[in-house]
Amino acid sequence: MKPIFLLLLFFFALQVNAQDQRTFNPAGMLSLGGRTTVSLFNDHKNEMTGTGVGGQFRLRFSDAVNTDWFFDYITSDILNYAHRTDSHIGWSVLFYPINSFDYFRQTAQFKPKFRPYILAGHCFDYSKIEAKDGTNALDGALYAERWSSAVQAGLGTHLELSPKFDISLTGQYMIHLGNHIETDYDFTSNTLSFHEHKGASLAGHLLVTLSFNYKIARLWGFTKR
Amino acid sequence: MGIHQKIIGLFLIASTLAYGQEKACFFQPSLLRASATIAPTRFYMQETTVALIHGFMEYVLEPKISVRGEANFMAPNGLLLFTNSPEKFPRNYASIYAGFGYHLGKKNWKINLHAEPGMVLAEMAQDPYVNVPSRFKWSACPSYLLKAGTSYYFSKYCHFFAEINFSNGWIRKTPLSSVSLAQYGISAGLGFHLMTKKHHE
């Protein structure tokens, strides 16, 4: 146990030393932004493309690792007999495989550039499916809802338009882990019914997100002049 | 003094002001600008034109980047050209957006591009042909706004602006098919601004 602890301490000391000699370090950078999301290829039967709005803040931990903390509100149609509302609150880790520091060092005029990333994360999800006509004469309000958890992974890129401002485009697949609500619509009698399936199901959707982010503060670390 | 002399006099004063301030650049970081106007907007999927009361506030963060928030409300009796089908268009409509702007151009004449996610709040009839009067329900609908325009900063506190915008979204809480909010509109007028920080030149 003791050698492992000493080894970890050694690596930690190396890392601190490496960061000490660097003039610029983006760790601790906090960004705030807004986002719009399109939900595609939904697993739910007859569900159509959804559109959403949300917000996020981004906290950078090191040169290569950033994190997104987001909220999304997405609505979609299930043909013309029901509509679905999804609220996502979660986080993603962004890893930059091409990790050049140029723009922090840049002394000449800033040039916009792309910074691609791989992301993976987790979120909590609230879904509600409502009948289009809202009520059923016998049963009252006609809807079903569920809370679930989800994991997501994908690819994206920032377009850095200034040292503090970027536009980010992300494509990620989100898999919901939890109960599954199924809608059944009888087109001959025009009746809608809900069935809830217990246990994990791997229903998911592809989310394409466009976000706008501005760096507002540095929570730790500093820049040597 | 006749009206013609007064108009010529005003033009002379205006041109003197413009000449005197030719070298000053009013568009700089920390500039806060705002305005309100009537914005004719066409909901082309619903074949309906509406007068929206439009207001915005914008803060310039960097020479080319700004953050902006805006809101639109359907003016009372604001349906100018409209469909008579209540299931096709909301009785009340309001939208709010917040996003960023990118500004091109030099000195006081700018070309502005904006992209802003936002929300629409709309009140739709739920059973227009079943019950009289019909029940109405409000719903919150995700939306986005794209905008291009130009602004001319002609004094320390005032500017002219003209913008064209496109936005889209869907009202899902309807008894029939969802209602598209695809629309384009224009807004123009006099805006007001002030510098919130001192710049040393």
Condensed to tens digits (0 to 9), the pLDDT of residues A150-168 reads: 999 999 999 999 889 999 9
Write down the H helix ranges in chain A: 2-21, 102-105
Mean pLDDT along residues A118-127: 95
Q: Which residue of A has its CA nearest to B127?
A: A133
- Mutate: best of A165, A192, A216, partner B, most B CBs <10 A: A165
pLDDT of residue A21: 47
Q: Compare A102 and B134 and report the one with higher pLDDT.
A: B134
The CATH number given to whatever domain includes residue B103 is 2.40.160.20
**The CA-based dihedral angle spanning residues B6, B12, B14, B17, taken in that order and rounded to the nearest 10 degrees:** -140
- Is B62 in contact with A162 (Cβ distance < 8 A)? yes
Q: How distant, in Å, are the alpha carbons of A4, A86, B19, B122, B133 from that of B126?
A: 67, 22, 59, 12, 10
What is the mean predicted confidence (pLDDT) over B3-16?
61
Indicate the pLDDT class of residue A220, thresholds 50, 70 and 90: confident
Q: What is the DSSP letter of B23?
A: T
- Residue at B200 is within a domain: no
- pLDDT at B80 (0 to 100): 74
Confidence (pLDDT) at A14: 44
Domain with B110 in it: 3-195
Question: How far B146 CA lies from chain A's nearest CA (Å)?
Answer: 12
| Residue B64: inside a domain | yes
Q: Do residue B61 and residue A51 have CB atoms under 8 angstroms apart?
A: no
Question: Are the beta carbons of B138 and A47 closer than 8 angstroms?
Answer: no
Query: Which of B163, B159, B162, B149 has the alpha carbon at shortest distance from B194?
Result: B159
Work out the average pLDDT over A35-57. Answer: 88
Shortest Cα–Cα distance, A19 to chain B (Å)? 29
Tell me the shortest Cα–Cα distance from A100 to chain B, in angstroms: 24
Confidence class for position A35, pLDDT limits 50, 70, 90: very high
Q: For chain A, which residues make up each domain, given as ranges?
A: 27-218
In this prediction, residue A224 has a pLDDT band, given cuts at 50, 70 and 90, of: low
Residue A16 confidence (pLDDT): 46
- Amino acid A134: pLDDT: 62
Q: What's A27-218's CATH class?
A: mainly beta
User: Each residue of B16-72: pLDDT tens digit?
Assistant: 455 555 558 889 999 999 999 999 999 998 888 999 999 999 999 999 999 999 999
Query: Residue A126 is encoded by which pair of tokens?
Result: 């609230």
Cross-chain Cβ contact A214/B174 below 8 Å: no
Cα(B158)–Cα(A8) distance, rounded to whole angstroms?
61
User: Which of B28, B188, B187, B29 is closest to B108 using CA atoms?
Assistant: B28
For range A6-21, the mean pLDDT = 49
Report DSSP letters for A62-74, one per residue: SSSEEEEEEEEEE
Considering only CA atoms, which of A141, A117, A127 is closest in space to residue A176? A127
Cα gap A38→A44, rounded to integer Å: 15
pLDDT computed for residue B166 by the predictor: 97
Residue A65 has pLDDT above 80, yes or no: yes
Query: Ramachandran region of residue B47, left (φ > 0), alpha (ψ -120 to 50) or beta?
Result: left
pLDDT band of A6, cuts 50, 70, 90:
low
Per-residue pLDDT, A12: 47
Q: Is the pLDDT of residue A190 over 60?
A: yes
* Cβ of residue A112 closer than 8 Å to a chain B Cβ: no
The C-alpha atoms of residue B158 and residue B152 are separated, in whole angstroms, by: 9
Report the residue of A31, A32, A35, A36 to disrupt the B interface, i.e. the one with the largest count of B CBs within 10 Å: A36
Write out chain A residues lying below 8 Å of B118, CB-based: 53
Residue range A115-143: average pLDDT? 81
pLDDT attached to residue A9: 58
Chain A, chain B: beta-carbon pairs less than 8 Å apart: 75
Q: Chain A residues with CB inside 8 Å of B115's CB?
A: 167, 210, 212
Could you tell me the pLDDT band of residue B124, with boundaries at 50, 70 and 90? confident
**Band of pLDDT at residue A102, cut at 50, 70 and 90:** low
Is the model's pLDDT at A94 over the cut of 50?
yes
Which residues have C-beta within 8 Å of that of residue A61, sequence separation ≥ 6?
A: A27, A67
pLDDT given at position B182: 94
Q: Work out the minimum CA distance from B65 to partner chain A, whole angstroms.
A: 8
Q: Give the mean model confidence (pLDDT) for residues A134-148.
A: 71
A54-60: average pLDDT: 95
Q: Give the model's pLDDT for residue B57.
A: 97
Interface touch B117/A77, C-beta < 8 Å: no
pLDDT single digits (tens) B104-118: 998 899 999 999 999
Count structural domains, chain B.
1
Nearest CB to A77; choose among B64, B143, B172: B172
pLDDT for A88: 95
The confidence score (pLDDT) of residue B183 equals: 95
Q: What is the mean pLDDT of chain B?
A: 86
Lowest mean pLDDT among A16-25, A82-91, B29-38, B141-150: A16-25
